[in-house]
């Protein structure tokens, strides 16, 4: 039975490392070790614990002896578990509680049989859809009964708990491909597409200016125009990232991805005709539009991937976004070779190729369902269940639906998340800071300085034009291979471990690269070592820092806060990307090889932050992750 209680005798403060049901179980067993029992399998994913773990900071246990008359007379004790929130006023802290009676037969032959026969404590059915929290009025004026049926352990033992379907299947793979290939390909391809044909495009810019003014511009002017052409992509990304939350809420994750292709079509038109009409401004406009597209993709695609994936594949599926980025960067580098499309005649085609993944997405994504979590947040429960069944390849999705509904019901109890709320509420501010820091860490580690200007770095290391081109291709290939490796490691080693290994390796490697660059011009050995250090740098980056930040944001926030948090995090990522692209070459000219010391310092600071603040989210439910931040907010 379940009641409301105001009696508080013994209080337990929740910790941030153990789920609520384990803590309640442990406290009950310490209090009356012989006569209490909490069934792990029935309670591990019980929605009520998910609700309470996001709302409470402590629980109190009281115990009262009682006697019951009549035939089959029993005596025992009544234990009450009352949950409280330290953020409320003292007289408003009672949220609700669970009461369980412990009966002892008078004629029990021994303690063991008493325990076997008598316990009826917090036993709930394996399919909690029939017994989830039915009242959500946790206000200061109304206490709410927690309406969950109690079942005996004998009944439960005859009904084994069914596992949530979580395997990889063809339909899930199709949805991943449709969303990732059509979105993150734009991000990666347009990051590296201008690298190889840089000199050819600069020559065309110079001729275009001369045709207008009858005078050739100086190299500084041409370099400035090309720098704007490069960096405007990041400015578009900042804007696209900033509007991700609005688009995700209004049009959905799938709908937003489909509509986002409008920017690709407009961008391709601008870039394809730029040479014909003699306008480098059209390339700048096209790069801006494709940047807006990539910025929105960077928020929408990881969000969609995280929400359609089973919990045991969430990290691996999230890594797919970065994997496609690395593949598309390599494709851009290969197609940009002078023997393929990196020529004075074909470079507009090189830029226009970006329409291909857009067409692929427009053809395939309509056959995939919208995110089940998004549909549920819009009160489309039937559509959400159909979408989940499609993604899992089975109709047996009731238990996973219950977990999703528990999350949604818990979110409905909380205030609506606004920009002000996510900044001022400590339960949301802590994961927001972590999200922003890991996004900054990804870009300020120096990866895009390497990607944007890889050819120059290899030439500084002593390679000629052809040698630097092939070294850049080798770097891109290693990036792809190691991202594939991280896809398999992320669910085994965990997110935090891979981040620590990646940044730790980059600190050491970048320091060695700095030293090597100082002697590269005079020493062939130092030149070769610099190339090795750059390749090792890419390996360390791809191990974790390259992929994990994109999906970590979706893991740290609940359904209502996720779009806003993603917008902020993606905008910060693109801002940092822009700053590195803008500042690296001037700093390199000013400081020479010592420019990489800046990245060494930043990497060391981010490594320390990750070690101290970033939680491990591997195989954790949203309720458990939220509980960690809730506990931190009270400390």
Return the pLDDT at 501: 96
Mean residue pLDDT of the chain comes to 76
Share of the chain above pLDDT 90, in %: 42
What is the domain partition of the chain in residue ranges?
10-157, 164-367, 369-413, 415-635
Radius of gyration (C-alpha) of the chain in whole angstroms: 29
Q: How far is CA 306 from the centre of its chain?
A: 7
- Per-residue DSSP letter, 68: E
Return the pLDDT at 334: 93
pLDDT of 597 higher than 50: yes
Give the separation between CA 229 and CA 288, rounded to whole angstroms: 8
Return the pLDDT at 266: 97
Q: Give the pair of three-digit tokens for residue 364.
A: 């395939």
Return the pLDDT at 27: 59
Return the pLDDT at 540: 95
Return the pLDDT at 256: 96
Mean per-residue pLDDT, 126-145: 30
Fold equal for 164-367 and 415-635: yes
CB-side neighbour CA atoms (13 Å) of 539 = 10
Other beta carbons within 10 Å of 110: 7
582 against 207, higher pLDDT: 207
The Cα-based distances of 44 to 48, 82, 432 in angstroms read 10, 19, 27
DSSP 133-156: -------SS-----------HHHH
Give the separation between CA 138 and CA 48, rounded to whole angstroms: 13
What pLDDT digit, counting tens, does each position of 151-195 carry?
222 333 333 334 444 578 999 999 999 999 989 999 999 988 998
505 against 11, higher pLDDT: 505
Mean per-residue pLDDT, 6-13: 46
- Per-residue DSSP letter, 371: P
Helices first, then strands: H and E counts in the chain:
30, 4
- Per-residue DSSP letter, 140: S
- Locate tokens 């379907």: which residue? 165
Query: What number does CATH give the domain 164-367?
Result: 1.20.1250.20
- Per-residue DSSP letter, 83: E
Return the pLDDT at 516: 85
Question: At a CB cut-off of 8 Å and minimum separation 6, what does 344 contact?
Answer: 200, 203, 204
Query: Going by CATH, does the domain composed of 415-635 fall within 3.90.190.10?
Result: no
Give the separation between CA 78 and CA 91, rounded to whole angstroms: 24
- Per-residue DSSP letter, 370: P
Binned at pLDDT 50, 70 and 90, residue 635 comes out as low
């Amino acid at each position: 039975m379940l009641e409301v209680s105001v009696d508080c005798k013994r209080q337990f403060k929740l910790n941030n490392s153990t789920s609520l049901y384990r803590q309640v179980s442990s406290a009950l067993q310490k209090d009356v070790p012989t006569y209490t029992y909490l069934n792990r399998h029935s309670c591990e994913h019980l929605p009520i614990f998910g609700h309470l773990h996001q709302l409470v900071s402590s629980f109190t246990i009281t115990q009262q002896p009682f006697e019951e008359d009549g035939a089959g007379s029993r005596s025992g004790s009544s234990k009450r578990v009352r949950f409280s929130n330290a953020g409320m006023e003292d007289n408003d802290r009672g949220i609700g509680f669970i009461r369980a009676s412990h009966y002892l037969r008078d004629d029990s032959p021994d303690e063991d049989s008493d325990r076997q026969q008598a316990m009826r404590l917090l036993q709930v059915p394996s399919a909690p859809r029939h017994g989830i929290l039915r009242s959500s009025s946790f206000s200061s004026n109304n206490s709410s009964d927690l309406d969950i049926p109690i079942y005996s352990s004998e009944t439960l033992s005859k009904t084994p708990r069914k596992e949530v379907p979580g395997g990889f299947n063809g339909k899930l793979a199709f949805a991943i491909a449709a969303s990732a290939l059509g979105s993150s390909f734009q991000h990666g391809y347009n990051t590296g597409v201008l690298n190889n044909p840089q000199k050819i495009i600069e020559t065309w810019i110079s001729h275009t200016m001369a045709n207008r003014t009858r005078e050739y511009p100086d190299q500084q002017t041409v370099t400035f125009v090309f720098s704007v052409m490069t960096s405007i992509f990041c400015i578009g990304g900042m804007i696209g990232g900033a509007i991700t939350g609005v688009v995700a809420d209004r049009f959905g994750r799938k709908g937003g991805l489909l509509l986002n292709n409008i920017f690709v079509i407009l961008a391709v038109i601008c870039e394809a005709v730029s040479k014909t009409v003699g306008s480098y401004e059209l390339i700048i406009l096209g790069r801006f539009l494709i940047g807006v597209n990539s910025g929105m993709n960077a928020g929408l695609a990881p969000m969609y991937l995280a929400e359609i994936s089973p919990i045991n594949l969430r990290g691996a599926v999230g890594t797919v976004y970065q994997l496609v980025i690395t593949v598309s960067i390599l494709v851009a580098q290969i197609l940009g070779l002078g023997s393929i499309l990196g020529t004075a005649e074909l470079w507009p085609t090189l830029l226009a190729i970006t329409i291909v993944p857009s067409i692929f997405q427009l053809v395939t994504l309509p056959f995939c369902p919208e995110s089940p979590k998004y549909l549920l947040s819009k009160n489309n429960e039937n559509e959400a269940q159909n979408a989940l069944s499609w993604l899992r390849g089975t109709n047996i999705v009731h238990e996973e639906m219950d977990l999703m509904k528990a999350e949604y019901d818990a979110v409905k109890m909380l205030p609506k998340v606004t920009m002000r709320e996510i900044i001022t509420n400590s339960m949301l501010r802590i994961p927001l800071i972590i999200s922003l820091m890991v996004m900054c860490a990804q870009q300020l580690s120096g990866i895009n300085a390497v990607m944007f200007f890889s050819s120059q770095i290899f030439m500084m290391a002593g390679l000629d034009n052809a040698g630097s081109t092939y070294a850049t291709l080798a770097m891109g290939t290693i990036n792809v291979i190691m991202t594939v490796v991280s896809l398999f490691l992320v669910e085994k080693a965990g997110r935090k471990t891979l981040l620590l290994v990646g940044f730790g390796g980059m600190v050491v490697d970048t320091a060695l690269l700095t030293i090597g660059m100082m002697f590269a011009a005079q020493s062939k050995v130092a030149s070769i070592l610099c190339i090795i250090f750059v390749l090792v740098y890419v390996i360390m980056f791809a191990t974790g820092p390259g992929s994990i930040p994109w999906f970590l944001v979706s893991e740290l926030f609940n359904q209502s806060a996720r779009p806003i948090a993603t917008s902020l995090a993606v905008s910060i990522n693109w801002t940092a990307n822009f700053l590195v692209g803008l500042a690296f070459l001037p700093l390199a000219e000013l400081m020479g090889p010592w420019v990489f010391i800046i990245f060494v310092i930043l990497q060391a600071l981010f490594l320390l932050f990750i070690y101290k603040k970033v939680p491990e989210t591997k195989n954790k439910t949203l309720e458990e992750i939220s509980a960690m931040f809730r506990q931190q907010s009270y400390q």
